[in-house]
């Protein structure tokens, strides 16, 4: 992985681990925000309402700056931490792992729980399709209407994903840009400006 990409999973995958009557169902789920984490957790809690524990961990963001591990009533750091450890071991982000436990009547102890939650999380990830994604950022291309053609050429030349278009006092194209080409597109815009073609790039959403 570089500063321009990160690893995540393509689709939801499932795993299972059994120990002394307890059953640990695991789910590795792609997510892109804390809101999507909450939604996925709510869905699983509703479906597996009769489970004793819904333990989880997640990592979000290309720089992995948002993360959480939750034990849901298990001894401190015996469930969420080993789940989070599996995400970090595989250098993954934008992933939520939930392990749903059905208690089998025999206590496993902290060591047993650590192993069980790790194994369950590991099993779900082993069945995942891991892919490398480009880090992107949203840009706004501003231009006078007479230079609409030049603005659209920027979209095509740098393979930008157009998200929206705004037309107020000037034209604005909202697009998604791969971070690795930032310097190249800024250099191209400077060249256009030197040629008296007034196109600007901003890194914030338009307000009109």
Asked whether residue 170 falls in the same domain as residue 96, the answer is: no
Asked whether residue 113 falls in the same domain as residue 28, the answer is: yes
Question: Tokens in use for 30?
Answer: 């792609």
Asked whether residue 139 falls in the same domain as residue 125, the answer is: no
DSSP 166: E
Asked whether residue 37 falls in the same domain as residue 85, the answer is: yes
| pLDDT digit string, tens, across residues 123-170 | 999 999 999 999 999 999 999 888 889 999 999 999 999 999 887 778
Asked whether residue 77 falls in the same domain as residue 125, the answer is: yes
Could you say which of 99, 133, 167 is where a domain stops?
133
Position 207 scores a pLDDT of: 45
Asked whether residue 75 falls in the same domain as residue 149, the answer is: no
Asked whether residue 149 falls in the same domain as residue 185, the answer is: yes
pLDDT category, 202, cuts 50, 70, 90?
confident
Comparing CA positions, the residue from 28, 8, 19 lying closest to residue 98 is 28
Position 145 scores a pLDDT of: 85
Q: Specify the pairing of strand 13-19 against strand 22-30.
A: antiparallel
- The pTM is what? 0.82
CATH of the domain at 183: 3.30.70.240
How far is it, in rounded angstroms, from Cα 186 to Cα 207?
22
Position 169 scores a pLDDT of: 76
Asked whether residue 98 falls in the same domain as residue 186, the answer is: no
Asked if residue 112 is part of any domain, the answer here is yes
Asked whether residue 161 falls in the same domain as residue 71, the answer is: no
| pLDDT digit string, tens, across residues 30-54 | 999 999 999 999 999 999 999 999 9
Position 2 scores a pLDDT of: 67
pLDDT category, 208, cuts 50, 70, 90?
very low
Percent of the chain with pLDDT over 90: 82
Q: Specify the pairing of strand 130-134 against strand 136-143.
A: unpaired
Q: What residue has token string 């050429």? A: 153
Q: What is the CA radius of gyration of the chain?
A: 23
Please compute, for residue 87, the number of CA atoms within 13 A of its CA located in the half-sphere on the CB side: 30
Asked if residue 193 is part of any domain, the answer here is yes
The answer for residues whose C-beta is within 8 angstroms of residue 191's C-beta and 6 or more apart is none
pLDDT category, 205, cuts 50, 70, 90?
low
Per the structure, the complete domain to which residue 69 belongs is given by 5-133
| pLDDT digit string, tens, across residues 172-195 | 999 999 999 999 999 999 999 999
DSSP-derived secondary structure for 103-139 = --SS--HHHHHHHHHHHHHHHHHHTS-EEEEE-EEEE
Q: What is the number of domains present in the chain?
A: 2
């Amino acid at each position: 992985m570089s500063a321009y990409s990160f690893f995540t999973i393509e689709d939801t995958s499932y795993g299972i681990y059994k120990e002394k009557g307890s059953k640990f169902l695991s789910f590795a789920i792609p997510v892109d925000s804390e809101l999507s984490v909450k939604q996925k957790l709510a869905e699983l809690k509703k479906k597996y309402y009769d489970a004793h524990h819904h333990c989880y961990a997640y990592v979000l963001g290309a720089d992995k700056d948002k993360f959480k591990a939750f034990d849901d009533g298990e001894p401190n750091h015996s469930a969420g931490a080993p789940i989070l450890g599996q995400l970090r071991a595989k250098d993954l982000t934008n992933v939520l792992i939930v392990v749903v436990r059905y208690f089998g009547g025999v206590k496993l102890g902290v060591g047993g729980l650590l192993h069980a939650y790790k194994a369950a999380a590991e099993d779900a990830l082993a069945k995942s399709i891991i892919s490398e994604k480009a880090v992107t950022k949203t840009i706004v291309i501003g231009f006078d209407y007479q230079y609409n053609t030049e603005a659209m050429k920027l979209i095509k030349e740098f393979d930008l994903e157009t998200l929206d278009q705004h037309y107020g006092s000037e034209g604005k194209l909202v697009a998604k840009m791969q971070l690795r080409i930032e310097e190249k597109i800024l250099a191209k815009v400077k060249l256009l400006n030197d040629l008296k073609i007034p196109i600007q790039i901003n890194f914030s959403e338009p307000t009109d």
